[in-house]
């Protein structure tokens, strides 16, 4: 707000200020308080002798005093508008939040001759902010607990295969999402894998994640191929009162032939690294689940060789720094090192090698390593 030009004497302003229901004050160019309206004295119980000058600052909450002085001194030095939130002591000794604004007033030559300001109570707003913050924290805890409970506590242990997985929630408290991974044995010498991401965040996304994961399991138990599994799961999602978009990848591995058959519903393609250094990113198209559009999903097949490692992951792994291509390069390089035996074979090691900077979303990773 630009500075105002006024005369030295402001009797009319004083009369108006006295009648206002909010706290109004005036100060000299050096910040020395020379006027408070009656509302200030009624609120804090300080006398004029204890309020004028810099005496009024004793009413600032001790924890807020340093921040106030730093910002106030900067405004006095630069001649810029002052605006800050801090707590002031009431007559009964308790503290309440205020938004304090002060503007410089200049004369015709542009020299600051006064500071005029107001203190507006924002205690109710602060209480609401604290309540909302606690609700977010509570939902974060519930969603995180629920999500971890819905993930498989242990992965299948099979001769010649080593399965590993990791789930890392978003570091932002309000953004726990619906990422998952799953692995389970079928009755026909196959093992099934699923990984996916429910759009949205919070408790609702975590609950829907559990429903989608179970729908995939139920469809797979009937012996369906991966594309058919996705179609049946999509039908279950469309029946929900509030369906949401879900990306998912479902795969089955024949333990006798070591051939992996998979289908994708708009999910990032898997990465397959061989012991000889070859890298494959087998991809198959398919729209996400729960979009309301009729779509067809197709299955593709790839062979796992001795010493190879397969990685399934959610997009949070490659979107931490918004440089997706660079993240994918780091992911492929790390998985290649694991296949060659120069890096520890683990899902957590893969995450650590791929993420640069701050994590921006939930991450789920599932790796399948074949014995050399």
Q: What is the pLDDT along the chain (372 residues), one digit of tens a residue?
A: 344 433 344 555 565 556 556 888 999 999 999 999 888 998 999 998 999 999 999 999 999 999 999 999 999 999 899 999 999 999 999 999 999 999 988 887 888 888 988 888 888 888 877 766 666 666 666 666 666 666 788 899 989 999 999 988 776 544 566 889 999 999 888 999 999 999 887 777 878 888 899 999 999 988 899 999 999 999 988 888 777 899 999 999 999 999 999 999 999 999 999 999 899 999 898 999 998 877 789 999 999 999 999 999 999 899 877 788 899 999 999 999 999 988 989 999 999 999 887 777 889 999 999 998
CA distance 35 to 26: 5
CB 171 within 8 A of CB 162: no
What pLDDT score was predicted for residue 265? 95
Strands 178-185 and 4-5: unpaired
Q: What is the DSSP letter of 109?
A: T
Q: How far is CA 120 from CA 20, 126, 139, 184, in A?
A: 11, 12, 32, 60
d(CA 98, CA 22): 10
pLDDT of residue 252: 97
- Angle between helices 203-221 and 226-238 in degrees, nearest 10: 140
Joined together, the tokens standing for residue 146 give: 């629920």
Task: Identify whether the C-beta of residue 177 lies closer than 8 Å to the C-beta of residue 200.
Answer: yes
pLDDT recorded at residue 281 = 94
The pLDDT score that the predictor gives to residue 140 is 63
Residues 330 and 131 sit within 8 Å (Cβ to Cβ)? no
Which helix H or strand E contains 71, and what residues bound it?
A: helix 62-78
Classify the C-alpha dihedral 63-64-66-67 as positive or negative: positive
E strand intervals along 148-238: 161-168, 178-185, 190-198
pLDDT at 244 (0 to 100): 83
Q: Which pTM value belongs to this model?
A: 0.63
Rounded distance between C-alpha atoms, residue 9 and residue 184, angstroms? 84
Q: Is 360 within 8 Å of 296 (Cβ atoms)? A: no
Tokens of 319: 């979107």
Cα separation of 288 and 53, whole Å? 66
CA angle 270, 280, 260 (to 5 degrees): 60
- For residue 7, the model assigns a pLDDT of 38
Q: State the residue for tokens 């229901």.
A: 21
């Amino acid at each position: 707000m630009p500075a105002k030009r006024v005369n030295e004497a402001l009797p009319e302003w004083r009369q108006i200020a006295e009648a206002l229901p909010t706290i109004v004050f005036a100060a000299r160019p050096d910040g020395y308080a020379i006027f408070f309206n009656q509302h200030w004295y009624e609120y804090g119980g300080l006398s004029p002798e204890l309020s004028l000058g810099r005496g009024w600052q004793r009413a600032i909450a001790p924890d807020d005093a340093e921040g106030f002085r730093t910002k106030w001194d900067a405004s006095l030095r630069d001649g810029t508008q002052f605006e800050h939130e801090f707590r002031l002591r009431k007559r009964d000794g308790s503290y309440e939040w205020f938004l304090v604004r002060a503007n410089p007033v200049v004369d015709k030559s542009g020299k600051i001759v006064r500071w005029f300001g107001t203190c507006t109570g924002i205690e109710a707003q602060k209480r609401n902010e604290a309540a909302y913050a606690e609700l977010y924290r509570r939902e974060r805890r519930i969603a995180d607990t629920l999500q971890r409970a819905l993930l498989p506590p242990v992965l299948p242990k099979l001769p010649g295969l080593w399965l590993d997985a990791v789930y890392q929630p978003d570091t932002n408290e309000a953004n726990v999402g619906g990422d998952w991974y799953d692995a389970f044995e079928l009755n026909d010498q196959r093992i099934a894998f699923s990984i996916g991401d429910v759009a949205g965040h919070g408790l609702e996304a975590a609950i829907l994640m559990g429903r989608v994961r179970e729908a995939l399991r139920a469809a797979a138990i009937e012996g369906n191929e991966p594309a058919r599994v996705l179609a049946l799961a999509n039908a279950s999602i469309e029946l929900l009162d509030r369906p949401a978009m879900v990306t998912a990848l479902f795969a089955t591995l024949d333990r006798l032939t070591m051939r992996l058959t998979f289908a994708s519903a708009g999910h990032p393609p898997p990465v397959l690294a061989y012991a000889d250094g070859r890298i494959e990113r087998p991809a198959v198209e398919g729209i996400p689940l729960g979009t309301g559009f009729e779509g067809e999903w197709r299955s593709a097949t790839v062979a796992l060789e001795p010493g190879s490692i397969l990685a399934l992951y959610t997009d949070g792994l490659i979107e931490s720094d918004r440089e997706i291509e660079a993240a994918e390069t780091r992911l492929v390089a790390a998985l290649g090192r694991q296949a060659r035996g120069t890096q520890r074979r683990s899902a957590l090691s893969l995450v650590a090698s791929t993420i640069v900077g701050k994590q921006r979303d939930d991450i789920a990773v599932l790796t399948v390593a074949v014995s050399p």
